[in-house]
């Protein structure tokens, strides 16, 4: 019995706590985190 799905063969970029599909998405995530707009309660 396997609990893993089929691979989707999409690119993966990981930097620190962020994992995205494109380098630009990582850059935007870091910018949002730094300026306080990444996550709001």
- Give the model's pLDDT for residue 21: 94
Those residues of the chain that have pLDDT short of 70 are 1-2, 40-41
Q: Where are the alpha helices (DSSP H) in 1-41?
A: 23-35
The Cα 17–Cα 39 span in angstroms is 14
Confidence (pTM): 0.66
- Give the model's pLDDT for residue 41: 62
- Give the model's pLDDT for residue 2: 61
The Cα 8–Cα 14 span in angstroms is 17
């Amino acid at each position: 019995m396997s609990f893993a799905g089929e691979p989707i063969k999409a690119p993966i970029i990981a930097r620190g706590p962020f994992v995205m599909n494109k380098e630009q998405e990582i850059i935007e995530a870091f910018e949002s985190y730094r300026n306080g707009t990444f996550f709001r309660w």
